[in-house]
Amino acid sequence: MERKTQVLVVGAGPVGLLAALRLRQRGLDVTIVDQNEHDTARSFAVVLHARTLAMLGDLGLFEPFVWQGQAFKRIVVFAGGERRAILDVPTFGELADGGLTLPQNVLRNALELALQKEGVYVEYLHRLTTLRQDDSAVYAEVTRREPVSAPLSSQGRFEWRDAEALSLQADYVIGTDGRASAVRKGLGIGLCEAAPPQIYGFFDAPHEPPAGQSLELVVGPETNAMYPLHGGITRYTFELDAAPSKPLDAQKLRELRLARMPWHAAGHESVEWSGVHTFERALVERFGQGRAWLAGDAAHTTSPLGAQSLNVGLREARELADGIAEAIATGDRQRLSTGYDVQREREWRKLLCFGGQPSLSPATPSWAKQHLQNLLAALPATGDELDACLATLGVTLI
């Protein structure tokens, strides 16, 4: 039998959870599904911009982050082996006087708890397989997965099998199902690539003394960053020219630090976590149509250094939830296309430089001109705050 809901959110990453929460706060009936099990594993760190912190503060979600996050207020930029600039991290209102690094599961757990308080529980192990829409509704096929009792894999993790096919009918669907989005594919929306994919290696290493409140960016042919994390840990991120043939270990960290950040060459004998991932810089042809819309990594991806995809994605979740609530209340869907779609595309075309190279002033330093796109994607800001930060270097986005 077909189940009905007002809004189906596909994907319970940070963006999907925020969309579901906002929809519930607007009084709508929401179903949220995720293909995976609830993730309790150690998660990588995310970077929250000042504007995002202010928005989460408005939703009453600031407190859990303060004591588990690490604030940063300055960006020290290096190029050609020299320190070139010290920029203030943009601020936004009273609560957010800088950025914050945070384990991603702290963000997800806070959002999920707030959602549960509104009476909504994520339906884990439910994977969207197909999607179609007509003028009156969206029809989704979802497969429920279940653990296979035996055998367990060698890592002690369960294996899963498809157990049951479910049909869901929704007034609207929000696709927040990440880079390989099934919602995007179901809508037949393609991705436009802004630049070739980049491979990044991540290391979390103890830092003595703790790294303080500065983020370091090293721009050059490859872009690299050092972010302070909570508890005296430092996150090093290096752009790599090829996928490494073996896991990233302390020896590799030493080599990369010596080559790219020689001022950090001493110390750090251990690595608490490391990983490698490829990041595309890409944007959807459109953000959705009719009754099905996209937000977050399902719609765009960029370099992880500035965390722009996640932070803009969280803003999109709120805008989209408000737009859908309005469309349901008024019966007018037009503003989703003329508002959400157009605004989102405008912001992302600027961020990914689809509209052309940013305009430069005579005051723009040559190192910034030379590495402009990488610098732009690595700054922890978007919107007016990014414009203000770039203005100090004589750069205007177009």
Q: Which residues bind ligand FAD (CB under 6 A)?
A: 10-16, 33-36, 44-47, 127-128, 176-178, 182, 202, 275, 277, 296-297, 304, 307, 309-310, 313
Closer Cβ to ligand FAD, 171 or 177, answer by number: 177
Least Cβ distance, residue 7 to ligand FAD (angstroms): 15
Task: State the CB neighbour count (10 A cutoff) for residue 236.
Answer: 25
Closer Cβ to ligand FAD, 300 or 350, answer by number: 300
Least Cβ distance, residue 249 to ligand FAD (angstroms): 17
Structure tokens, 83? 């320190």
Least Cβ distance, residue 188 to ligand FAD (angstroms): 16
Q: How far apart are CA 137 and CA 74, in angstroms?
A: 48
Closer Cβ to ligand FAD, 17 or 325, answer by number: 17
Closer Cβ to ligand FAD, 212 or 275, answer by number: 275
Least Cβ distance, residue 359 to ligand FAD (angstroms): 28
Rg over CA atoms, the chain: 21
Closer Cβ to ligand FAD, 229 or 328, answer by number: 229
Least Cβ distance, residue 15 to ligand FAD (angstroms): 3
DSSP string, 170-227: EEEEEE---TT-HHHHHTT--EEEEEEEEEEEEEEEE-SS--TTEEEEEESSS-EEEE
Q: What count of residues does the chain have? A: 398
Alpha carbon of 5 to those of 2, 119, 171, 263, 296: distances in Å? 10, 14, 7, 56, 22
3-state secondary structure of 267: coil
Least Cβ distance, residue 214 to ligand FAD (angstroms): 16
Least Cβ distance, residue 338 to ligand FAD (angstroms): 24
3-state secondary structure of 357: coil
Judging by DSSP bridges, how do beta strands 45-48 and 82-88 pair with one another?
unpaired
Closer Cβ to ligand FAD, 12 or 372, answer by number: 12
Closer Cβ to ligand FAD, 305 or 325, answer by number: 305
Closer Cβ to ligand FAD, 91 or 309, answer by number: 309
Residue 258 bridge partners (DSSP): none
Least Cβ distance, residue 333 to ligand FAD (angstroms): 23
Q: How far apart are CA 234 and CA 252, in angstroms?
A: 16
User: DSSP alpha helices (H): ranges in the chain?
Assistant: 14-25, 50-58, 63-68, 104-117, 182-186, 250-260, 308-330, 334-335, 342-351, 366-370, 372-378, 383-391
Burial pattern 179-190, b for ≥16 Cβ within 10 A else e, equals bebbbbbbbebe
State the distance between the two ends of the chain, measured CA to CA, in whole angstroms: 51
Structure tokens, 93? 């209102």
Least Cβ distance, residue 300 to ligand FAD (angstroms): 9
Closer Cβ to ligand FAD, 32 or 328, answer by number: 32
Closer Cβ to ligand FAD, 306 or 323, answer by number: 306
Least Cβ distance, residue 178 to ligand FAD (angstroms): 3
DSSP string, 288-319: EETTEEE-GGGTEE--TTTTHHHHHHHHHHHH
